[in-house]
Structure 1
Amino acid sequence: MRYAPITRIIIRYAVGLIVGVDAADVLARDPDVVTVCALALGAAVEVIYAFAVRKGWTT
Structure 2
Amino acid sequence: MTSVIIRITLRYLAAALVAKGVFSPEIGGVISNDPDLSMIAEIAAGAFIGLSAEVWYYLANRFGWAR
Q: Which amino acid aligns with 1:19?
A: V
**What TM-score results when the alignment is normalised by the length of structure 2?**
0.65
Any gaps of 5 or more consecutive residues in structure 2? 20-24
> After TM superposition, where is structure 1 displaced by more than 2 Å over at least 4 residues in a row?
20-29
Post-superposition CA distance 1:34-56 (Å, at most 9, x none): 00111011101111111111112
Structure 1 residue 23 displacement after superposition: 4.7
Q: How many residues align?
A: 57
For residues 28 and 12 of structure 2, what CA distance do their matches in structure 1 show?
7
What percent of counterpart residues are identical? 25
Aligned to 1:54: 58
- Tell me how large the CA RMSD over aligned residues is: 2.4
Any gaps of 5 or more consecutive residues in structure 1? none
Structure of larger gyration radius: 2
